[in-house]
Amino acid sequence: MKTELLAPAGDIEAAYSAFYFGADAIYLGLHRFSARAEAVNFSPEELDEITAFAHAHQKKVYVALNTLMQENELSELMFHLQVCSDCQVDALIVQDIGVARIIKKTFPNLTLHASTQMAVHNLSGALSLKKIGFERVVLARELSLNEIKTIQQKSGLEVEVFIHGALCYSYSGLCYFSSMTTARSANRGKCVYSCRNVFKLNNHQYHPFSMKDFALEKDVCQLTGLSLKIEGRKKNALYVGAVTDYYRRILDTGKIDTSLTANLKQIFARPWTKLHFNKKNKDVIEPDFVGHRGLLIGQVEKIANKQITFRPTSALARYDGLQIDVAGMEKPFGFSVEKMTSNGKHTFEVSAHQSVTVCLPDNAPFIKKGSPVYLASSTRVKSSYAYTRPKKGLYKNRLPIDVNVYIEPTSVTAVSGNVSITLTDSFSPARQIEKVSQSIQNCFEKTGDTKFQINSLIIHNPHQLFIPVSVLNELRRQLFEKKAQQTINQTIPPLPSVHFKTNQIIPKWRLKTDNIAVLKEVDLSSIDEIIIEINTLMKPADLIGLPTPKIRLAFPTIMRQMNFQTVIHSFWQEGYTKWQITNWSGLNLLPKEADIDFDYTLPVLNSQAAAMMFENNASGITLSVEDTYDNINKLTHIVSNTTLIVYQDTPLFISANCIRPNDCASCTHQLERYTLSNGHDLLQAVSQNCLTTVFKNEPFYIGDMIDNLPVTWLRMDFCHRQYSARQMNDLIHKIQNRQSLKNRYTGNFKKKFA
């Protein structure tokens, strides 16, 4: 594919700004089912306008329907899909595999892009989605250049990668912090950004999970033949224009314009990082401050009489915004410049490197000499990114129609498809018949604000009669009006049917663990199936002493090392044919004959998702741990072969970003554990082999609340936390007897999503 610069559009103004400043394509959301639910987003009319504009200028529009959907939301989804189809969008960005199934079966004209929320982080994951029907994959932000190139060269898919914008601490799609603590799910577009909070770790309060912003800058020139994506659907048109212009010029010239860098940082910027694009990187966290910082332009040289004096490295004007780092404050102190002097005189602006004294507002905190000063808002910059917007109504996606006009002495009829309009009147012979035909042609080509354009017009006038323009205009108006009503009333396709076997009444028990040594000391007589998470160092001999017929082997959620094929082969040769996949790569790695269970990290919140998984070799599916009781109850009365997790140390973050205080060179990569608190929740963090997993100090537990849900399996997980055999035996007994646990949380099970 041709290299594509892809810009965000949280509203129609940002869309026009993106196109004006050089975007090849934009991505946007509708008012529902967008992972940026709190952006302004687009109405159907605005979507129609912007796609018509884009296509007229050889640009593209992608719509993000990239949230997970509960069963009762699917019918509303169908309306949105019809809108996207009518507006001729270029692709849909999808997270929910059930949405992908619906699109494939009811709107096959729509192209599927796999959202970064699907956490695709290796070649096998991309190949699996290709088999399912995706034409593009949006890769996890954490990947290196070499990993990106491998997937690009070997997948046969279009590949999209992020190049600039905000970062999540967790792999996208694998963060449950916001959801499990506030019912505002990141997977449903309602994240509260729990990662930006202050935590206490080792008696030090800071922001251990608050990421810097991603900024590849000139490194984008190493990415050719991909879609280069800018994050920012919650940003305004000014930011979108500036960041699009910045990368358009880098791509076109291979050079960085430092003045544009300065502009962009004044509009919005946290400190920048390239994440792990070039190599493993510890410099990805901004521990002391959160939010917009601005462009560093100096430091405080003098403080007196509620005034600061400094020498800015950039021009400064009245009403520009400044921010100053203040120790102990979570965000820099910001204020607008109302009064300033230079050389003892009041002034409205100063040049770069000219000493200036600025009055502080009355609410200013104590500011130390030497404190950094940032230009956080510039009047000059705001005026530098003007863009043009076309006249309203100029661009529409028009439907080509064929019209036949039949003229008789006492009537005239216009027919398009099965729509017919007849007007009665008395018509006399025409003096110049060729002018009559031209008049009819001109009339019907005036489609105005309608959604139609004339594809062909055939005139039947055997008596060579004259028709007044007023009659023709009325005929056209009524025809288009009736045709439009028919289009509006056209039937939205029904949801594709799903078929499942009958559920059993009495559920069986599953146990999952990542600790074989402890497992061998546990009483497993009441457990029907044991799920063991493997790694690349494991061998079949490690499982000696365990009941082989009960064992199912599980992949880790993140599989950046691609030597799992050897491990799979060794276990398969020993008769281990039951597997659990936790990411999309498993579908491509395992033999077709494998018995494959899909874990909760491949989320199922609706019957369409379940059906899609069973159609792609699943023997069973695991319900999402962030789902609600009401939705689970609906699903388990529809879907068979389901597993409900009743006990788990649910990973709130699974991250490629390291929590350890040491640098990479001195790291042992061995397991280390940390305890953190944000004042509300006590958390545990496990760091091993460049992966950080964070979970609550108390477990997720709903075993005493499930009210005989008709599931096939009930599952208890003993992963991540250190469990002794005695603790596991005690918990197995309590959980199987549906006893309450003193310290637990229940997530969204008895809630509704916010």
pLDDT along the chain (754 residues), means of 10: 97 98 97 86 94 97 97 95 94 98 97 98 97 98 97 98 97 96 94 93 91 97 98 96 98 97 94 95 92 95 95 96 91 95 95 96 94 95 95 88 96 95 95 93 89 93 95 94 77 91 83 97 97 94 96 96 88 97 96 97 98 96 97 95 97 95 84 93 94 97 93 97 97 97 96 90
DSSP per-residue letters across 24-57? SEEEE-BSSS-S-TTS--B-HHHHHHHHHHHHHT
Element spanning 123, H or E: helix 123-132
**pLDDT of 363:** 93
Q: Which two tokens stand for residue 54?
A: 């884009």
- Backbone angles phi and psi of 211, in degrees to 5: -80, 145
**pLDDT of 240:** 98
**pLDDT of 484:** 82
Q: Is there a contact between 308 and 358 (Cβ–Cβ < 8 Å)? A: yes
DSSP-derived pairing of the beta strands 551-554 and 578-581? parallel
Q: Is there a contact between 37 and 188 (Cβ–Cβ < 8 Å)? A: yes
Beta bridge partners, 494, equal none
Q: Is there a contact between 62 and 40 (Cβ–Cβ < 8 Å)? A: no
DSSP per-residue letters across 323-350? EE--TT-SS-EEEE---EEETTEE-SEE
Q: E strands within 708-747?
A: 713-718
Distance (Å, whole) CA 109 – CA 90: 10
DSSP per-residue letters across 143-191? --HHHHHHHHHHH-SEEEEEEEE---SSPTT---HHHHHHS--GGGT--
Question: Mapping DSSP to helix (H, G, I), strand (E, B) and coil, where does residue 395 land?
Answer: coil
Q: Which two tokens stand for residue 272?
A: 């920048």
Q: Is there a contact between 314 and 297 (Cβ–Cβ < 8 Å)? A: yes
194-223 burial: b if 16+ Cβ within 10 Å, else e:
bbbbbbebeeeebbbbbbbbbbbeeebeeb
Distance (Å, whole) CA 694 – CA 685: 4
pTM for this prediction: 0.92
Beta bridge partners, 403, equal 457
3-state secondary structure 603-637: CCCCHHHHHHHHCCCEEEEECCCCCCHHHHHHHHC
Q: Which domains does the chain have, with CATH numbers?
A: 4-167+211-273 (3.20.20.70), 295-382 (2.40.30.10), 399-488 (no CATH), 508-649+699-736 (3.20.20.70)
- The gap from C-alpha 195 to its chain's centroid, in whole angstroms, comes to 17
Question: Mapping DSSP to helix (H, G, I), strand (E, B) and coil, where does residue 663 land?
Answer: coil
Rounded (10°) CA dihedral 249, 252, 254, 255: -30
**pLDDT of 665:** 81
Distance (Å, whole) CA 42 – CA 301: 48
N-to-C CA span, the chain? 40
Q: Which two tokens stand for residue 42?
A: 């687009």
Q: Which two tokens stand for residue 482?
A: 């009736």
- If you count DSSP H runs as helices and E runs as strands, how many of each does the chain have, helices first? 18, 40
Element spanning 412, H or E: strand 411-416
Q: E strands within 267-320?
A: 272-273, 295-299, 302-304, 307-310, 316-317
699-729 burial: b if 16+ Cβ within 10 Å, else e:
bbbbbbebeebbbbbbbbbbbbbebeeeebe
**pLDDT of 669:** 83
237-253 and 12-20 helices, crossing angle to 10°: 20
Distance (Å, whole) CA 715 – CA 733: 13
Q: Is the dihedral of CA 609, 176, 61, 490 positive or negative?
A: positive
Closest CA to 326 of 370, 291, 292: 370
Q: Is there a contact between 144 and 278 (Cβ–Cβ < 8 Å)? A: yes
Question: Mapping DSSP to helix (H, G, I), strand (E, B) and coil, where does residue 647 land?
Answer: strand
**pLDDT of 746:** 97
Cβ count near 338 (within 10 Å) = 11
**pLDDT of 664:** 83
Closest CA to 204 of 677, 693, 683: 677
Element spanning 440, H or E: helix 433-444
81: left (phi over 0), alpha (psi -120 to 50) or beta: alpha
Q: Is there a contact between 374 and 294 (Cβ–Cβ < 8 Å)? A: yes
Q: Is there a contact between 693 and 177 (Cβ–Cβ < 8 Å)? A: no
Closest CA to 512 of 525, 495, 530: 530
Beta bridge partners, 460, equal 406
Sequence-separated (6 or more) residues with CB below 8 Å from residue 490: none
Distances (CA, A) of 593 to 87, 88, 618, 642, 654: 42, 40, 11, 20, 30
DSSP per-residue letters across 82-104? HHHHHTT-SEEEE--HHHHHHHH
Tens-place pLDDT, residues 311-352 = 999 999 999 999 999 988 888 999 999 999 999 999 999 999
Cβ count near 192 (within 10 Å) = 17
